[in-house]
Amino acid sequence: MTGKLEAMRHQRGITLLGLLLWAIIIGFVALLAMRVLPTVNEYFTIQKAVNKIASEGLNTVPEIRAAFERTKQIEYSITSISAKDLDITKENDKIVIRFAYDKEVEIMSPVYLLIKYQGSSKQK
């Protein structure tokens, strides 16, 4: 009899309630990742486009804006900003292109996640 009680005391495992709790947590994290990852991909696409345009050697603001619009037509994932949203300056004889935008991601009907993205071209 004591052997049976000893075996019951050493049993380990997860209860059904614990399993459901972990399933809910993992499901919520997966939902969040599926909603947020496309916006992160868009940010990296914009960053890559801005770096490419800044390194092309274009000198005027209209040329830079036109180059961004051409890139935007090719890269279908850029939808959050347009060429007029770019802040174009010259620092140390190099063109610097900055951008900033907000992205709202719907989690569930009344709940939204606000992500603020900003970036600039790398100076070489």
Domain-located, residue 26: no
Domain that holds residue 70: 38-124
Whether the per-residue pLDDT at 120 is higher than 60: the answer is yes
Q: For 82-94, what is each residue's pLDDT tens digit? A: 999 999 998 888 8
Q: Is the pTM of the predicted complex or chain greater than 0.85? A: no
pLDDT category at 56 given cuts 50, 70, 90 is confident
Whether the per-residue pLDDT at 1 is higher than 60: the answer is no
Dihedral class, residue 13 (left if φ above 0, else alpha if ψ from -120 to 50, else beta): left
Please name the residues in contact with 70: beta carbons below 8 A apart, sequence gap of 6 or more. none
Decide if 85 contacts 109 (C-beta within 8 A). Answer: no
Rounded distance, CA 77 to CA 106, Å?
18
Q: For 64-75, what is each residue's pLDDT tens digit? A: 999 999 999 998
Domain-located, residue 18: no
Decide if 49 contacts 66 (C-beta within 8 A). Answer: no
Domain-located, residue 29: no
